[in-house]
Amino acid sequence: MKRSIKDIEVSGKNVLLRLDFNVPMNYETGEIYDNTRILESLATINYLCDSGAKVIICSHLGRPKGKVDKKFSLAPVADKLAMLVKNKVTFATDTVGSDAKQKISQMENGDIVVLENLRFDSGEEENSPAFAKKLASLADIYVNDAFGTAHRKHASTYGVAKLLPNAVGFLISKELKIIGQILSNPNRPLVAVLGGAKISDKIPVIENLLDKADYILIGGGMAYTFVKAKGGKVGKSLVDEEKISLCKKFLDLSKDKRAEIVLPIDNICNIDFDSTNKPRRFLSNQIDDNYMGLDIGPKTIKLFKKYIKNAGTIIWNGPMGVFENSVYARGTNKIAKYVAKAKGFSFIGGGDSASAVVKSGYGKKVNHLSTGGGASLSLLEGKTLPGIEIISDEGTELVFKNETTKSSKKAHTKKTSFTKKEGTKSLTTNKKQTSKKTAPKKKVSQKVKAKKES
Ligand code: AMP
């Protein structure tokens, strides 16, 4: 278990909070299409503000590639945040420069400063020690709650965590708890539904789930490499020739391993992606040479439904067809509906499957929509995430840069003998601290001229 923000006394401290504010946005107008990521971060933001911290939020947005590009500015996100919290929100027009420093110096307990896009500095993605040091100089404590970027080893997700006392926020804690439970002790049968085009991305997931899941249902473009590995005729369908032998191996292994691999039995096909010809249905292993599979067919939908309906736990990652085109979206939409309505615990691994569920109107019915596609896939592969690994374990001694006393809430009351130390000075006494929580100020920023949402 990683140290949680609940284990740290944050009152009066500058807390650098890494969030995933990479929201879908019209970069020309600043219009935010979907503010789910902001809403998901509110529990941690409000907790820190209510606990009297000065909350310095940092995030990336889009792909500015290490250069200042105002169309990727986080200012519209700061505006949106100001509408959603009761605390003062100020936007800094740089990340570690004079504006950020000046605005941070004026903060009172409970205030929020949102820094400009981290990726305006090339040091962010390069995990530059110099950039990490500058970020660390802004704060006393680092909190990571950006699950969506926890698989990246960047300055704000990794480098800075090495330099400050640290903890994870509520969102990361929740994601780790749920994925951990699914992989270690799921309600069975555990059914994984995997789709999408890039089989190479899902190979490690399949490998890991062969021991853990009971059934692995494979749809989408990646299914045809498996069908071909079994000797089927797949026409012009997407096939990764280099992965055929590995798919054969998985199909053989699945006879001895826990999980059974279930492949499509029919497909909706056409001569190419954009053809206006009427689509045709073929059995999955008998696709005409001139056709390609673009969606799972009705028999497969029925077959997959049976497994999903009887599942104790369902993991879904990747669309069942070229769902961007409504002609080939039926399989994905049906699976979205069945997963959402299933009695088993449903987990959607972000990305396309999450947007398909939300688009189909079943988003609220799913038990857990992960906020990180890549990060949740890494965990399903059995990997650890650098942005989480670097955070201290629960119970580890907490030492601040310029202090000899610790502020770990647990450490106040427990006489625990700690095994790992961090920071520059170690602790010699374990006296109970009497820290006062400072009530946050309830005022709206002059700088962020956003009206409160009704
Ligand atoms: P991925 O990034 O690997 O999860 O793949 C997502 C993409 O897979 C989506 O853009 C789909 O259009 C694509 N996809 C799904 N099924 C097929 C298919 N049968 N043939 C080609 N692409 C597909």
Q: pLDDT tens digits, residue range 130-146?
A: 999 999 999 999 999 99
Confidence bin at 454 (pLDDT 50/70/90): very low
Give the pair of three-digit tokens for residue 203: 């190979």
Helix H or strand E encompassing 348: strand 345-348
Is the previous residue joined to 76 through a cis bond, with omega within 30 degrees of 0? no
d(CA 343, CA 308): 9
Q: Is residue 240 in contact with ligand 1, taking CB distance under 6 Å?
A: no
Pocket test residue of 322, 348, 380 for ligand 1, highest count of atoms within 8 A of CB:
322
The CA distance from 90 to 100, in Å, is 10
Alpha helices, DSSP H only, in 74-166? 75-84, 98-105, 122-125, 129-136
Report helix angle 330-341 to 351-359, nearest 10: 80
Angle at 35 between CA 94 and CA 379, to 5 degrees: 90
Unique residue bearing structure tokens 């029919």: 266
User: Which residue's CA is the closest to the ligand 1 atom numbered 1?
Assistant: 196
Chain centre to alpha carbon of residue 177 = 13
Which are the contacts of 382, defined by CB distance < 8 A and separation ≥ 6? 183, 204, 208
* Span 427-439, average pLDDT: 32
Tell me the average pLDDT across 354-363.
83
Contact 12, 437 (CB under 8 A): no
Q: For ligand 1, is residue 279 a contact (CB within 6 Å)?
A: no
Report the alpha-carbon distance of residue 73 to residue 30 in Å, rounded: 9
∠ Cα 59 65 71 (to 5°) = 70
Convert the pLDDT of each residue in 94-106 to its tens digit.
999 999 999 999 9
Cβ neighbours around 90 below 10 Å, total? 19
Average pLDDT, the chain: 88
- Report which protein residue has its CA nearest ligand 1's atom 10: 322
Mean pLDDT computed over 418-446 = 33
Structure tokens at 266: 């029919």
Query: What is the tens place of the pLDDT at every residue in 288-303?
Result: 999 999 999 999 999 9
Beta bridge partners of residue 32, listed in sequence order: 25
- 193-223 core/surface letters (b: 16 or more CB in 10 A; e: else): bbbbbebebbbebbbbbbebbbbbbbbbbbb
pLDDT of residue 355: 80
Check residue 80 and give its pLDDT: 98
Structure tokens belonging to residue 301? 């939908």
Beta strands 286-287 and 233-234: pairing type?
parallel
- Give residue 401's pLDDT: 64
Tokens of 313: 């736990």
Largest Cα separation within the chain, whole Å, is 78
156 near 134, Cβ under 8 Å? no
pLDDT at 421: 33
Quick one: pLDDT at residue 227?
98
293 lines ligand 1 (CB under 6 A): yes
| Distance set, CA 163 to CA 3, 169, 244, 310, 400 (Å) | 16, 18, 45, 48, 10
Q: Which amino acid is at 178?
A: I
Residues 244 and 296 sit within 8 Å (Cβ to Cβ): no
Cβ contact 161:387 at 8 Å: yes
Span 254-274, average pLDDT: 95
Closest CA to 87 of 62, 64, 57: 57
Q: What is the pLDDT of residue 403?
A: 56
Tell me the CA–centroid distance for residue 132 and ligand 1, in Å. Answer: 37
- Classified as helix, coil or strand, 176 is helix
Decide: helix, strand or coil at residue 215.
strand
**Catalytic residue annotation:** 37, 198, 351, 374
Ligand 1 centre and the CA of 222: distance in Å?
8
- The residue to mutate among 217, 291, 352, 370, having the most atoms of ligand 1 within 8 angstroms of its beta carbon, is 352
C-alpha of residue 14 to centroid of ligand 1, in Å: 44
Specify the pLDDT at position 436: 34
Q: How far apart are the CA of 282 and the centre of ligand 1, in A?
A: 19
Residue nearest to atom 6 of ligand 1 (CA): 196
